[in-house]
Structure 1
Amino acid sequence: MRKRLVLFVIAFAISAGVGFWFVWQRPVSVTTAAVERGSAVELVYATGYVEPEHPVIVSSRATAPVAAVLVNEGDPVARGQPLVQLDDSEQHALLAQAAADAQGKTLAERRVTTLYAEGWVTRAARDEAVAAAKAARASSSALSARLDQMTVRAGISGVVLKREVEPGDLATPGKELLQLGDPASARITATVDERDIIRVHVGQVALLSADAFPGKVIRGRVYEITPGGDPTQRAFRVRIHVEDAISLPFGLTLEVNIVVNEHQKALLVPTGAVIAGRVWLVRDHRVQPRMVGTGITGTDKTEIASGLQAGDIVVVNPSAGLREGDRVRP
């Protein structure tokens, strides 16, 4: 009886040992990825919009009621084209009066000049008549030029971006009536966070996208960074030229990614494989920790600067319970 009990205990111990060994040796299921080569790109994200590089504000040089507005927003215009007609009835009356006065004084000038040549009037009388005629003609010319100002014309060729005037409004010098812009010289103004602006430099490539052009990436290049930031928004304005600016409507908003760093043929692993500067390297179905140096880090991929080689297998999103030497099953 005692011998049978001893045999039972020995058999139980062996079974328990075998079971423990099986559990301990059972592979842990993990997700793995191979270290690969590719481009590592560091981007600065911003939002931007399309605007004319040199917007032109149209205003009147005279104070007068608006008689007619000859263009609407979006209309193409040519340099010198009439845009706004002001009420010029008063100017026409003043010009007619001045022209009549100039004509009369010019005739008087001729008569006095003839009489002076014949010795009938003094030199002083002749000079007075000549001066009066010149002043009348100058006044008529000035009123004629002022009459021309009653028609507000385009200073550039482009399109009407904004219309801020309606017939009946009072136009005054300095008051904005219209805004013009040239689509051929459009630019993108991007707002970059002040934490990122130090990494942005003139000449860097910018990749732009818009909901209006799904799936299309528009390439541009940074050409200007404003020296002063906006303390309210805590941001700086960055100007970008694009290759095909004429196809972008003014006011269109865009997502802007400025390429501030790029490494070709870099070693890349999924970002989830790197935890506190360490990866789990898979060798012969077992894992071992490996400290690595990292470079450019993105949401999907992380550049490995040291510690790994192309083709190495690493664990992605390793569990907290993973230990050195654990058997794993990819």
Structure 2
Amino acid sequence: MPFHLKLPSLFASRPRLTLAAFVIIALIALVGIPRLLGEKLVVLTATQGELTQSVVASGKVRSPQRVELTSQITGRVTQIPVREGHKVDAGQLLIQLDPAELSAGVAQSSAALAQSETRLAQMKQLALPLALQSQRQAEANRVQARQHFERSRELVARGFYSKTQLDDAQRNLDFTESQWQAAQLQARSNQAGGSDFRLAQVAVVQSRAGLELAQTRLAYATIAAPVSGTVLTRSVEPGDTAQPGKVLMTISPAGDTELIAQIDEKNLRLLSLGQKALASADAYPGDRFPAEINFISPAVDPLRGSVEIRLRVPEPPDFLRQEMTISIDIETARRADAVVVAGEAIRDAGSAKPWVFVVRDGRAQRQDVLLGVRSDGKVEILKGIDAGEQLIPASALSVREGNRVRAVAG
């Protein structure tokens, strides 16, 4: 049987072998080369420069205190020379009530005082001298009556006078004695310390107190600014009737303007008195002005988990208004020459031992770090990383320590 070599079938199988070899080589290149050279990753580079840490909060404009003006009496409003927003000086007229009835009360009390003072002066100038004169006259009459009684008794004893004449002399003596005693009492009463004199003095004191009361009530008709400041609210108009206790006007005293804000208690450790801040009103976001922390509440609000702080504004801009919403940026730390990395490079940032994956010699190396201040997604590295080193983001979960890495700048 003749031998036949089937060369065409052998040559027909070569294309399939070539294709299979190509696929195998491609798979080796796809899997082996990355393993050999490392995974390609976008890395974060540590830089060196200034880093400022700040706490951002929202607050309100508030003066240190407010003065609410009310009326002490009921009265009709006749004049209000100021409106909201007006600057006022201490003692300036704000509200005038009708003073007619109160002025009449002052006049009546003045007349009563004049009358009581005249009565007291009359006692000193007239009543007392008359009483003393009456006392001296009663004394003289008493002495004369006693002498007459003694002579009558002697004459009756000799038989020249009858018993009736002696009785008349006795009655006259008793009468002059009583007059003398009454004159003495009247004189003592009109002298300083006597009852009539004291009553006259008390009348003067009462009349003077009544006048002071009437003058005080008249003064209540004029409501003046107790301090210099700005009129915030006015809730009364001329012709209205003011009632005691009803707030008629509110004044913001002149003085340091304050910003009040609530800070999350987790930031309390970053705050201290005297720290500087920059603030801006939401209505004027481009106009920032300086402020300074001058009060940190010793208590934490348990419902909101916040701490109240107040900031003094040494030079408040003209556009600031009470209760304006303010954005506050408080500078809590500043580093002039810090090693800075993006916060996304830090792993276990909230733990006691934060760490990073740093690319060294083409491999991922775990490195513990000591963190410093933080601001706007950036973190200061105090220890563990130098400026210029490349870090693998924490989002690269597939990386393990020792893995080869091909770093690509982000």
Give the number of the structure whose residues are more often helix, by fraction.
Answer: 2
- Alignment CA distance shift 1:46-1:83 (3 Å): same
Offset of residue 36 of structure 1: 0.8
In structure 2, which of residues 106, 112, 127 is the aligned counterpart of residue 101 of structure 1?
112
Pairs within 5 Å for 1:149-160 = 149-160=220-231
Q: What's the TM-score, normalizing by structure 2? A: 0.68
* Counterpart code for 1:269: V
What percent identity do the matched residue pairs reach?
Answer: 24
Asked whether 1:271 is paired with 2:365, we answer: no
Offset of residue 151 of structure 1: 1.0
Offset of residue 80 of structure 1: 0.6
What residue number does 1:314 align with? 391
Measured against aligned partners, the alpha-carbon deviations of 1:200-237 in whole angstroms (never above 9, x if no partner) come to 33233333232233234433222212223433433321
Give the number of the structure whose residues are more often strand, by fraction.
Answer: 1
- Alignment CA distance shift 1:36-1:229 (3 Å): same
Asked whether 1:290 is paired with 2:297, we answer: no
CA distance in 1 between counterparts of 2:269 and 2:277 reads 16
* Counterpart code for 2:113: A
Asked whether 1:147 is paired with 2:223, we answer: no
Pairs within 5 Å for 1:49-68 = 49-60=60-71, 62-67=72-77, 68=79
In structure 2, which of residues 120, 124, 133 is the aligned counterpart of residue 113 of structure 1?
124
CA distance in 2 between counterparts of 1:183 and 1:273 reads 51
In structure 2, which of residues 11, 27, 35 is the aligned counterpart of residue 20 of structure 1?
27
- Alignment CA distance shift 1:138-1:204 (3 Å): same
Q: What SS is found at the alignment partner of 1:80? A: coil
* Counterpart code for 1:222: I
Offset of residue 158 of structure 1: 1.0
* Counterpart code for 1:188: L
CA contact (8 A) 1:30 1:318 kept: no
CA contact (8 A) 2:109 2:211 kept: yes
* Counterpart code for 1:89: A
What residue number does 2:135 align with? none
Pairs within 5 Å for 1:65-104 = 65-67=75-77, 68-104=79-115
Aligned length: 327
Offset of residue 304 of structure 1: 2.3
* Counterpart code for 1:313: Q
CA contact (8 A) 2:43 2:407 kept: no
What residue number does 2:315 align with? 244
CA RMSD of aligned residues (A): 3.4
Q: Can you give the 5+ residue segments of structure 1 that lack an aligned partner in the other structure?
A: none
Offset of residue 8 of structure 1: 6.5
* Counterpart code for 2:107: A
Offset of residue 299 of structure 1: 4.2
CA contact (8 A) 2:95 2:224 kept: yes
CA contact (8 A) 2:232 2:250 kept: yes
Q: What SS is found at the alignment partner of 1:107? A: helix
* Counterpart code for 1:92: S
Structure whose alpha-carbon radius of gyration is higher: 2
Q: What's the TM-score, normalizing by structure 1? A: 0.82
What residue number does 2:56 align with? 45
What residue number does 1:179 align with? 250
Deviates more, 1:263-272 or 1:294-303: 294-303
